[in-house]
């Protein structure tokens, strides 16, 4: 066991630390006709509504946990981060919360809504062509200006922050059989899984990745973090090009499996969540539901299951296009 893995006392202390700044998002029972048909009437389903978190995603938990750990001197110099969008918003929010300047590198492919949200929070935005250039720019800012780098998905502070989400689920819903969560770099899934296993050790934790960005699945298969040569998915929040040691080891020790879903399946799940939960979500937030409709169907049938709805930062044009794609996909599935 790594000495840096959060213990339950650390997660509880982080909950208290974050409480004045963040929302304790609700976990609600979900009655879904589609999922009842697929998983059976005996299944009891719950949604962790993290899309209602400040900044619109879970990312605020890890970013703020790191920011609150900075010394006065570090706060005065400021922070930097690299992001496809959601972490940029969270890092900008965290910097504002501690009254620190933020120079954040955002990939040019970022959703324009996310870019605008980060700027509205006061961040000085730098645009990068790709992830490699983004990390190079951030590295220069750290070395030349003394900024503190807030990592998007790896490290003890991220796990502490996302562990608070897992603790909330475990506290809200006793005796769960499974929690299903989307996986990008693994920051959410690994910290959340750690808390779930500490509080409900018999609960399974299943991760879900896009077929076109399976970095953690491949890392599990190879027994070490891997870097992807190619990424092809609509779920940009789930598309970092690699996994990293801390989140990989924490995830491998606490997650029961990682399954893959197609982009069409995420779109179909977006349509189900819109119609049957009245939630407008980004593709990553629909991945857990997509897995229940596909690769996890047999394992979740008749079970008490919580799906993490991890975020909803998506512009209306893109949302409408993906929602229509999802409706077409659903219409092609036999009743």
Tens digit of pLDDT for each residue in 46-98? 999 999 999 999 999 999 999 999 999 999 999 999 988 899 999 999 999 99
Q: What is the CA radius of gyration of the chain?
A: 19
Residue with tokens 């006793």: 174
* Per-residue pLDDT at 2: 56
* CB atoms closer than 10 angstroms to residue 330: 18
* Per-residue pLDDT at 189: 97
Question: Which residues are CB-contacts of 19 (< 8 A; sequence separation ≥ 6)?
Answer: none
C-alpha closest to that of 313 among 271, 290, 283, 288 = 283
Q: pLDDT tens-digit profile of 116-159?
A: 999 999 999 999 998 889 999 999 999 999 999 999 999 999 99
* Per-residue pLDDT at 279: 98
Parallel/antiparallel/unpaired status of strands 44-49 and 148-149: unpaired
Q: Do 304 and 175 meet the contact criterion of CB atoms below 8 Å apart?
A: yes
* Residues of the chain below pLDDT 70: 1-3, 334-335
Which phi and psi angles does 47 have, rounded to 5°?
A: -120, 125
Q: Which residues of 199-235 are buried (b: 16+ CB within 10 A; e: fewer)?
A: bbeebbbbbbbbebbbbbbbbbeeeebbebeebebbb
C-alpha closest to that of 173 among 310, 305, 276, 24 = 305
* Per-residue pLDDT at 85: 85
C-alpha closest to that of 189 among 266, 110, 284, 105 = 284
Question: Which residues are CB-contacts of 191 (< 8 A; sequence separation ≥ 6)?
Answer: 6, 62, 158, 159, 160, 161, 162, 163, 165, 166, 250
| 3-state DSSP assignment of residue 281 | coil
To the nearest whole number, what is the mean pLDDT of the chain? 95
């Amino acid at each position: 066991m790594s000495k840096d893995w959060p213990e339950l006392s650390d997660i509880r202390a982080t909950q208290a630390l974050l409480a004045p700044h963040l929302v304790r998002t609700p976990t609600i029972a979900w009655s879904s006709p589609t999922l009842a048909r697929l998983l059976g009437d005996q299944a009891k389903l719950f949604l962790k509504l993290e899309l209602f978190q400040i900044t619109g995603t879970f990312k605020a938990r890890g970013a703020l946990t790191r920011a609150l750990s900075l010394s006065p001197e570090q706060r005065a110099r400021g922070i930097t981060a690299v992001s496809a969008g959601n972490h940029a918003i969270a890092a900008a929010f965290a910097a504002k919360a501690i009254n620190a300047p933020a120079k954040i590198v955002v990939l040019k492919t970022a959703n324009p809504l996310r870019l605008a949200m980060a700027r509205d929070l006061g961040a000085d935005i730098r645009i990068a062509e790709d992830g490699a250039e983004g990390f190079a720019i951030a590295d220069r800012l750290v070395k030349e200006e003394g900024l503190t780098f807030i990592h998007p998905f790896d490290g003890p502070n991220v796990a502490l922050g996302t562990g608070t989400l897992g603790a909330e689920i475990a506290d809200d819903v006793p005796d769960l059989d499974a929690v299903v969560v989307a996986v990008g770099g693994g920051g959410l899934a690994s910290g959340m899984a750690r808390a779930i296993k500490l509080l409900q050790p018999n609960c399974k934790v299943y991760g879900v990745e896009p077929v076109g960005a399976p970095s953690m699945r491949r890392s599990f298969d190879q027994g070490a973090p891997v870097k992807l040569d190619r990424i092809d998915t609509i779920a940009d929040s789930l598309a970092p090009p690699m996994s990293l040691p801390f989140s990989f080891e924490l995830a491998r020790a606490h997650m029961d499996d990682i399954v893959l879903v197609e982009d069409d399946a995420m779109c179909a799940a977006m349509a189900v969540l819109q119609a049957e939960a009245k939630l407008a979500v980004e593709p990553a937030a629909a991945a857990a539901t997509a897995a229940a409709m596909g690769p996890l169907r047999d394992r979740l049938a008749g079970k008490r299951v919580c799906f993490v709805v991890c975020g909803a930062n998506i512009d209306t044009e893109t949302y409408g296009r993906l929602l229509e794609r999802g409706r077409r996909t659903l219409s092609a599935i036999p009743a």
